[in-house]
Amino acid sequence: MIAELGLALLWFAAAFALLQLFTGLLSLREAGAGFAESVRPVAVMQGVLVTLSFLALIWLFLRTDLSVLLVASNSHVDKPFVFKLAGTWGNHEGSMLLWVTVMALSGAAIALLERRLPERTMLATLAAQAFVSLGFYAFLLFSSNPFTRLEPAARVGAGLNPLLQDLGLAFHPPTLYLGYVGLSVAFSFAVGALMTRQVGPQFARAMRPWVLGAWIFLTIGITAGSYWAYYELGWGGWWFWDPVENASLMPWLAATALLHSVSVLAARDALRIWTIMLGVVAFSMSMVGTFLVRSGVLTSVHSFAVSPERGSFILALLCLYIGGALVLFGLRASTVNEGKQFAWSSREAALVFNNVALTAILGIVLVGTLYPLLTEAFGVRVSVGPPYFNPVGAIFAFPMVVVMAIGPLLRWREDRFARVGRRMIAPVAIFAIALVAALVLAPGIGILPLLGLALAAMLAVASVLPVLGRNPRRVKLAVWGMVVGHFGLAVALAGMASNAAFTTERLAAAAIGDTVAVGPWDVTLSEIEPIAGPNWTALEGTMTARYRGGAPVVLRPQARNFFSPPTATNESALATRWNGQLYAVLGQEADGGRWQLRLWWKPFVTLIWIGGLMVALGGLLALIGRVIADWKQRAIRVRLAERREYREAQP
């Protein structure tokens, strides 16, 4: 019954989305102004219905209702509770339902809370939002019904990919999804504003919390995904330029650019068209990412259940949304007012430079990801990897870091370089010191890690200058957000460079009792025993590691075998110190009772993820600061209006 109920709710929700689209569009015309009243309630109702539908699917997964095809093929009676829950969205159909649910909830939130936008832009935005949702409803109802029954019911279920049976991963995709959906809201705002040609600071302020929210989720999603790949794949690396990783990086790059240009639009009423364009591009990138991952046009280490049919469907949606938005953009962009002008030596110009750099990096990643597909069209197969992405990306990333250091010190509209130059003396000095220190301490260091370390040091110092010497309580929360975010990026960059420059690795065949040295560590293999989990068996190695002869730390890496489906995975073991991580993997048994061990000592590698989280924290501070400021402003406006009314009422 629950499955049928869920499906019925989904159909009703789709019908309300259709209603939202038509009432929204009609209300934009003079003749249909009467519909304007109904758009907001319809949007709220759509949100409620689809949420109930999603709850029905969660219920089916928690109860492991094996008469539902999706549950039977993605869950298992023996699976732990939390993975049954995560199984709801750990598959194609469920994740699409999650997507459309979050989208409808965002629409409902806009309908209930947003009061700053001009009413017409608001209606157009909700219509655009309904239009995007309808595509996903069609996708779900006609090609990926999550509620299909299985006749006869399965007995135990086909399990979940064991590689994906990991807490981090259970919550990694929904985090990215929240980011993608947030960008779809920004897209709807951009389309709404294009339809009514009302692009200005009010529009930017309404759009900004959604962009910030999306960006925070994307940042957390990418950071968590990178850490997951690091410890779960057992390869010792933290970023592989795999298509799936690129699919999550590209929307982040576009969202980062959008975040900064939307701030310019809100503060200075400049960059109107550019902001609209980025709003379209950011959502395009999340759709392109989803398409590349799901359609199977590219080979990836993350094998989602790919299918060309689904690929075609997503491609059709992509054409409809992005193609449509770009046509609208072409028709309307030249009629949107330019916005304010500014000088080369201004904060706006620095933000424009960073926007261009981010867009260039986005282009590089996109070309690198698609290049294998392009050459395949000409009959040649290639694979593009770090030898391309790292140096080519760095060409734009390093200048961008320099401008990141300078930009926040510049004034809006126009500034004198000489004034800023004086403030940059300390950061530049730190850059030089770090450069020399790295060359002295590590003479063989590569050019990219070297520049990375020195630039990270410079950015770290420069990023705190905007608040240095000011009363911390007087500084706006949004400014703190920027400082923390930029400092976080410096921290992450330092981690990346340090990992690239100073990692030591040891491959050894060790017998029980042998000691292997890696960097400052001595690692002794003390025993190897078989152990069993709920749905796997494993060989677990016990190692005792000592840092410079200090207190022993016990590491237990495993070589696991899952039964359903049969898959072998490596569970790495980590020992974390303040100055880095020891990373241990248990390999195959070599001849004569010896075991292959892979050990890495990675100085300061954890800074990569700490920095990533700081960047997200910066976004969160900015978001809270903006929302509070908006709320206060609204309260003041209400009070002024009340006072005016009171005065007018007096004789």
Q: Is 118 helix (H, G, I), strand (E, B) or coil?
A: coil
Q: Does 571 bind other proteins (CB under 8 A)?
A: no
For residues 520 and 46, what is the distance between their CA atoms, to the nearest angstrom?
Answer: 59
Interactions with other proteins, residue window 578-607 (CB under 8 A):
587, 596, 598
Q: Tell me how far, at minimum, the Cβ of 275 lies from other proteins, in Å.
A: 8
Q: Does 197 bind other proteins (CB under 8 A)?
A: no
Q: Tell me how far, at minimum, the Cβ of 579 lies from other proteins, in Å.
A: 23
In this structure, which long-range contacts are made by residues 424-432, counting pairs with CB atoms below 8 Å and at least 24 apart in sequence? Answer: 424/462, 426/461, 426/465, 427/458, 427/459, 427/461, 427/462, 427/465, 428/458, 430/457, 430/458, 430/460, 430/461, 431/455, 431/457, 431/458
Instruction: Supply 647's token pair.
Output: 């005065």
Q: What CA–CA distances, in Å, run from 432 to 48, 146, 436, 464?
A: 58, 58, 6, 18
**Nearer to other proteins (CB atom), residue 84 or residue 294:** 294
Q: Does 277 bind other proteins (CB under 8 A)?
A: yes
For residues 390 and 241, what is the distance between their CA atoms, to the nearest angstrom?
Answer: 9
Task: Choose the stretch contacting other proteins; rule: CB under 8 A; options: 306-314, 429-437, 468-476, 573-581.
Answer: 306-314
Q: Does 349 bind other proteins (CB under 8 A)?
A: yes
Q: Tell me how far, at minimum, the Cβ of 597 lies from other proteins, in Å.
A: 10
Q: Does 93 bind other proteins (CB under 8 A)?
A: no
Among 135, 162, 339, 603, binds other proteins (CB under 8 A): 339
Site string for other proteins, 251-270 (x = CB under 8 A): -------------------x
β-bridge partners, 464: none
Interactions with other proteins, residue window 16-55 (CB under 8 A):
none
Among 33, 78, 115, 299, binds other proteins (CB under 8 A): 299
b/e 474-495 (16+ beta carbons within 10 angstroms → b):
eeebbbbbbbbbbbbbbbbbbb
Among 297, 539, 610, 627, binds other proteins (CB under 8 A): 297
Give the end-to-end CA distance of the chain in Å, rounded to a whole number. Answer: 67
Site string for other proteins, 376-415 (x = CB under 8 A): xx-xxxxx-xxx----------------------------
Within 10 A of 648 (CB to CB), how many other CB atoms are there? 7
In degrees to the nearest 10, what's the CA dihedral of 455, 461, 462, 467? 160
Instruction: Supply 159's token pair.
Output: 């399990």
**Residue 164 per-residue DSSP state:** G
Among 33, 112, 319, 554, binds other proteins (CB under 8 A): 319
Q: Which residue is associated with the tokens 């677990």?
A: 540
Instruction: Supply 18's token pair.
Output: 């259709």
**Nearer to other proteins (CB atom), residue 296 or residue 552:** 296
Contacts of 82 (CB under 8 A, 6+ apart): 167, 170
Burial class, 268, CB count within 10 angstroms (exposed 0-12 / middle 13-18 / buried 19+): buried
Task: Choose the stretch contacting other proteins; rule: CB under 8 A; options: 185-193, 232-240, 467-475, 524-532.
Answer: 232-240
**Nearer to other proteins (CB atom), residue 48 or residue 373:** 373
Task: Choose the stretch contacting other proteins; rule: CB under 8 A; options: 76-84, 218-226, 292-300, 640-648.
Answer: 292-300
Helices and strands in the chain: count of H runs, count of E runs: 19, 10
Interactions with other proteins, residue window 414-453 (CB under 8 A):
none
| 594-603/504-510 β-pairing | antiparallel
**Residue 64 per-residue DSSP state:** T
Q: Does 346 bind other proteins (CB under 8 A)?
A: yes
Q: Does 633 bind other proteins (CB under 8 A)?
A: no
- How many residues bind other proteins (CB under 8 A)? The answer is 68
Q: Tell me how far, at minimum, the Cβ of 305 lies from other proteins, in Å.
A: 16
Interacting residues with other proteins (CB under 8 A): 234-236, 240, 242, 270-274, 277, 280-281, 284, 288, 291-292, 295, 297, 299-301, 308, 311-312, 315, 318-319, 322-323, 326-327, 329-330, 333-334, 338-339, 341-344, 346, 348-349, 352, 355-356, 370, 372-377, 379-383, 385-387, 505, 507, 587, 596, 598
